Every structure is written in C-alpha cells, then in structure tokens.
Amino acid sequence: MRWLPAVPEHWNEQRAKTFFREVDERSKTGQEELLSVSHLTGITPRSQKNVTMFKAASYVGSKLCRPGDIVINTLWAWMAALGASRHVGIVSPAYGVYRPHRADSFNPAYLDYLLRTRAYVAEYIGRSTGIRSSRLRLYPNQFLDIALLQPPHPEQDQIVAYLRVQDAHIARFIKAKRDLIKLLTEQKLRIIDHAVTHGLDPSVTLKPSGIEWLGEVPEHWEVVFIKHVVDVRFSGVDKHSHDDETPVRLCNYTDVYKNDRITGDMDLMRATATRAEIARLTLKAGDVILTKDSETPDDIGVPAWVPEDLPGVVCAYHLGLLRPEPDRVLGEFLFLAIGSTRTAQQFHVLATGVTRFALGKHDVKNTVIALPPVSEQQALCRCITNECQPLDDTIARTEEEIKLIREYRDRLIADVVTGQLDVRGWQPGPEYVVTEEELAALGGDEAIDTDGEEEDGND
C-alpha cells in the first residue's frame, strides 16, 4: 500500500475485511456500560471520563460492542474518533461496529494504537464522503477495504508493552505541565477575582454589597442584575445545513469552551441559519458567549469574549449570547466578571439537572455582578491584562511543550506499530509499573469528546 511504509517481511498485511465484519447487535435494555469514543483515548467507559457532551434519556437500541471490536464514529472518523474496544458496552446507533472473524487475530491495544496513527487518519479522510470536510462520513465498505498490519501476536503484545511504558513517561511529563498550568490559572483567577470585586485602589471605601457571596465592594460601584445591563439571548441554531437557509459560520460550544476570545481567524464550522437567527445571533464587538449546558456543573457558565464584529458568524446552540449595553458595561469587563471564581460559583449553584446540567435564561439574567463606572472598567481591564500577561505567556509556553511531546508520541507510535522501530528485544525495568491513571492522563482533560455529535443525536 503506497500510503503505508514498507513493513517487516514476516508481518501480515491484508484488507480489514479479511479480519473483521460489520455487526449490528442492539441493546434491549440500554443498561450496559456506556462507552465513550474519543480521538485521544479510543473506546473507554464514559463513567471514567470528564465528558462535556450530553446524555440521552434512553439507550435502548444502542449498538453493543465487545472486547476486540473496532468502533468508529462514522461522522468523526476524519478526526480519529474510533478505536478497538477492551470492554463490553454500548455505543451510539450511528457508529460502525466491526467484529473480528477470529478473537485472537489482534491485541485490541495494538489495534487501538495503529488505527489512530496519522497515516490511517489520512486514509479515512481520503475514503470518506461528504460535501464539507467537517461532515465527512466513513462508511463500512470503505473502512473494510483499508489495509491492516498484523504482526505475530507475541510481537503485538511486545509493541503494546513498550508503548504503554513510553506512554507512562509521557503522561508523567504532561501531568507535571498540567499541574503547573493549574497553579498559574489559579493565580490568574485570584488577580481577576479581586479586581472585579474590589477594584485597583486598596484605600477606597467599601460598602456591603447586600449579597453574601460577594461581600463588600467599592462604595461608588453598583451591584446589578445582568438583565439590567445586558441583553441575554439563547441560541437554538444547530449544525445542519438547509437549502432554504443562509450559509454561516458557527461559533460552537467547543469554540467557547476552549478559547477566551472568538475571532475571525478561527476555524469555525460552516452551516446555515434563518434570517431571523442571523439578525438575532450574529456576533458583534463586545458580545460575551456563555456555555449553558453540560454534563457537569463545572462546565456551566464558561465565557468567551468577542473583541470585534464578526459578520457571518452566528452563535450556535447550547450557548447564550450576552450583548452588553455599551454605556453601562464593557464586553471585556463582563467577560472577566463572569469568568471570575465567585460568579462561576453562582452558576454552579443555579445549574439544574441530574444527567445533564443547564442554566436557564432566568438564571443568567438574575446573576449579580459588581459594576464600576465604564472608565474604571477600562482601567481594570488594562491592569488585569498587564498583570496576567506573564502568567499567560508561561501558560502558552507550557501548552506548547505539551503539544510537542504529543507530536513526539504520535511519531513514536507510528514508527513502532508499522515496524520502522523494532522493539522485539526491548525489556522494561523490573521496577516499572504503569498505572491506568498515568495512561488516562494522555487523554487530555482539555478534550471535548465527539460523543453526541453524530447525525442522529442518539449518543
């Protein structure tokens, strides 16, 4: 196969259909273990993950998968949302499930590594069909036509053992870097929290805010409900395209969750919206976008700020658009105030749900913020930016280090699972024990799973 490098002569290389067949076994109760399909960690129990997508009311009719099965999110194969399961459980009916003809053909962990290498992902993209890159679909006949590499089973086991130990080293490095980012972020939040509740002048006279969690605020500040200074709009714009609607770019949940600012140079999904939706939800300078739904209350009320007008960019569903009155509150200050620890705690308390948490429009409108005069808001924003810049720079450098070690890991995995690096003679040190917690750290707690993103919405 031209897209694969030359592999060891004693390895078997044949199309996936030689080893696997598509199966469609359905759950009658929906009570089996719910499995998550991630581009970073493959197939894992959802109960073990900090998932930021949404649960369904019932899982009756979900597809069953068993250890050794390959599971592919058909709509997100181009992003490597697939893997080999090591669990009995259920996945979305929209996913493809492929079962081995022989149970001993592959070590599932070896397959898991192999199937998410860049060469394979490029092949999925080339074989997928769809009008837009973000909506490509990898159908069963195309997947089963892809070549799989099959080393002898003992060699597969050795490859897995080697990569698991290397993963543990990398996971420990990443964990140390994340711990540093967490400390820097906490320091940054303390700076913001103090500034947006007490201002810059330590000698200013304070007054009781009348709100227990807010405490005292500068005497000349107001304490206001958001609804009195902000127009709150919730979005219902989905990710589908319709012929009778206008093409737009969507600011989605993940765009807000992962970024402090929404800017025109971001890679935003393309979809369509009605004229009324465009008129109401097109992003303008000063807007603040807010996450309003999540599986955990911690992901409720995460804000992002829009520094400039973005014609053609529309706020998507699961988000709220907050448009401040410019003579009362600056968008940047609103973003900082909402992102402060105290306001975040308000949202966590207000968020309701059992399997899914949500903020209602009433909750957002009736959230309280301390509000200085606009001129002081400007000064506060400048001061916070200056004080936080060194922290932001260190966070950015640390994130770049994590990115580089991930790239090294990708290259290492590709070399080992395709036989470019021979690990048959490798032996781990006797003192080395690899824990599941270490391996889980490789998944990235910053990742948003693709579960719930399939076309029928049944996950």
Residue 455 confidence class, pLDDT cut points 50, 70, 90: very low
Close Cβ partners of 25 (under 8 Å, ≥ 6 residues apart): 63, 64, 97
Region 102-109: mean pLDDT is: 93
Instruction: Name residue, tokens 């090294």.
Output: 408
Contact 380, 199 (CB under 8 A): yes
Q: Where are the beta strands (DSSP E) in 29-163?
A: 35-38, 42-45, 63-65, 70-72, 82-84, 89-91, 96-100, 147-150
pLDDT of residue 79: 86
pLDDT of residue 441: 67
Among the ranges given (78-82, 155-159, 412-416), the one the predictor scored with the smallest mean pLDDT: 78-82
Residues pairing with 15 in the sheet = 147
- CA torsion sign for 86, 89, 92, 95 is positive
pLDDT of residue 96: 95
Instruction: Give residue-wise pLDDT tens across range 204-245.
Output: 999 999 988 889 999 999 999 999 999 999 999 988 888 899
Instruction: Give residue-wise pLDDT tens across range 152-177.
Output: 999 999 999 999 999 989 999 999 99
Residue 458 confidence class, pLDDT cut points 50, 70, 90: very low
Asked if the model's pLDDT at residue 452 lies above 50, the reply is: no
**Strands of 313-315's sheet in order across:** 269-273, 246-251, 313-315
Region 402-430: mean pLDDT is: 93
Close Cβ partners of 132 (under 8 Å, ≥ 6 residues apart): 270
- CA torsion sign for 211, 214, 216, 219 is negative
Region 99-121: mean pLDDT is: 94
Asked if the model's pLDDT at residue 132 lies above 70, the reply is: no
pLDDT of residue 446: 43
| Beta strand pairing call for 246-251 and 313-315 | parallel
Asked if the model's pLDDT at residue 143 lies above 90, the reply is: yes
Could you give all domains of the chain from N- to C-terminal order, each with its CATH number?
A: 12-173+400-443 (3.90.220.20), 213-371 (3.90.220.20)
- Taking residue 167's Cβ as centre, other Cβ atoms within 10 Å add up to 20
Please give the model's pTM, rounded to 2 decimal places.
0.80
Which residue type occupies 177? K
> How much of the chain exceeds pLDDT 70, in percent?
90
Q: Alpha-carbon dihedral of residues 326, 330, 335, 341, nearest 10 degrees?
A: -120
At residue 199, the 3 state secondary structure works out as coil
Contact 167, 42 (CB under 8 A): no
